[in-house]
Amino acid sequence: MAKMWAGRTDGSMDALADSFNSSISFDKRLYREDIAGSIAHAEMLGRAGIITQAQAQTIIAGLQGILKDLESGALAIDESAEDIHMFVEQVLTERTGETGKMLHTARSRNDQVALDMRLYLRREAEEITELLKKLITAVTDQAEAWKSAIMPGYTHLQRAQPVTFGHHLMAYAMMFLRDIDRLKDAAKRINVSPIGACALAGTAYPTDRRFEAELLGFPGIALNSIDAVSDRDFVVEFLSALSLVMTHLSRFSEEVVLWSSWEFGFVELSNDYTTGSSIMPQKKNPDMAELVRGKTGRVYGDLMALLTTLKGLPLAYNKDMQEDKEAAFDAADNVKICLEVFAGMISTLKAKPENMRLAAAKGFINATDLADYLVGRGLPFRSAYKTVGTIVADCIARGLVLENYPLEDYQSHSELFGGDVYEAVKLENCVNWRTSEGGTAVASVEAQIAFVRKALEEK
C-alpha cells in the first residue's frame, strides 16, 4: 500500500524497517473507534464550512460502507498498511476519490490515535466493570449461602480467630467493589477528547472541537494541544486499575488453591474448572486459579512497560508511544478472561463446612475469647493471656480442645472459671458475639451482603 505521507520523500522504505515501523498487526482492532472518530470529524468539518456538506456526507457514507464491509468480512484489512488510520483513509480515497482526501483536514495521526485509544479504553472499562459486577454477584451469592459456616480466620497463615466463610468471601466482594470505583474514576480522565489538537500545536482552521467531542460522547476536551497528544497517563491509570483487579484475583486464587488442597479441604472445585495429571490419576488440579495467579504478573508487566516507555520522552509525540497499544490490549484481554473464568469457578465452588469447623476447633482460635472471659471477671488482660496460653499448651499435650477441656482443669488454672466457660469458647458464640459493624457475626455479614447488593444496583 502506498504511503499517504509520501512527498518529502518518495515513501519507499527498507522492507525490514517498514515492518518494524508498522503497527497494523495490533492496532487493526481499533478500526471501529477509528471510523467513528473519522465520521465525527467529517461531520464537524462540514458543519464548520471547512468542507461542503455534500463532501462531508460523501465521506461519512464512505466510512459507513467501510465499517459495514469490515464487519461482514467483505473487506479485509491490508496487513501491508502502516497502521489502521492509513488503511481506512486509503480505502476511503479509493472509494470516494478526491473527496476522501479531505478527511484528514485539521487533524493529525497524533490526535487521531489518542482519540482512538480513549474511545477504546472507555469501552473496555465499561466491559470490565460489568464483568466485575458478575464476579461480585457470584461471590456474594456464595457468601449468603455460607454466612453461618465457621472457619478459621488467619494471620501470618496461622489460625487466628473464628470467622464465617461468608464473612471471608465478603472481604473480596468489598475489594472488587473498590476496583469498580477505580475503573470508573479512571474513566473520567479517559473520557476527554484530544481531537483537534492536531500534531501538537492545534490548527488554523475554524474547527469546533467541542462539537466533535460531543458527537463522540466526550463531556470535555483536552485544554492543551501538546498535552493532548503527548501523554498516555490515562492508559497508565487504566493499567494501574487493572493491576489492582489482578492483585485481588491473585490473592483470591491463592486461597482457592489452598482451600481445595487435601491439607485444607475447605472447598471442592467443579470439574469444569479443574484439570487432571498426565501420570497421577488421583489429581484434581486448580489450574484456573493458578493461571489467574500467573497472569497477574503479565498485567503488572504491561503497566511497568508503559511507565518505562513514557518516563524519558520529551514533548510532544514520539514513536515510542506506539508501544501503549499492545500493553493496553494485552492487559484488558487477560483481565476480562480472568474475570469470566473466575466468576464461573466461584459460582460452582462447593464449600465443606464440616472441615472448616474441625480446623477452627483444632486451631484454638477461641483462645482470645477465653482470655476475654477471664478479663470480664476482673483478671488483667496480660494475666489472662498467660493463663490461657498455659491451658492451650496443656490441651495440645493431651489432644484436647478448649471446648472439651474438663472444668476441674480449667479451675486448676484459675478459680474464676465457672460452668459458663463453655459458652464463652463455643465457636458459634465466638462468631456471633462479634456484632461490631463489619464483623463476622451472621447479622453483620447479612448487612455487608445487603450493602454490596445495593451498591451493585447503583453502579
Q: What is the C-alpha separation between 214 and 221, in angstroms, rounded?
A: 9
- Cell numbers representing residue 389 in the block: 496460653
Judge whether 82 and 22 are in contact, CB under 8 Å.
yes
Judge whether 195 and 115 are in contact, CB under 8 Å.
yes
Q: How many residues does the chain have?
A: 459
- The C-alpha R_g of the chain, in whole angstroms, comes to 30
- H helix intervals, 260-406: 287-310, 324-347, 353-362, 367-375, 381-398
Q: What is the C-alpha separation between 88 and 92, in angstroms, rounded?
A: 6
The phi and psi torsions of 157 (rounded to 5 degrees) equal 60, 25
- Cell numbers representing residue 173 in the block: 466482594
Of residues 431, 429, 387, 438, the one with CA closest to residue 409: 387
Q: What is the C-alpha separation between 153 and 365, in angstroms, rounded?
A: 8
Catalytic residues: 156, 277
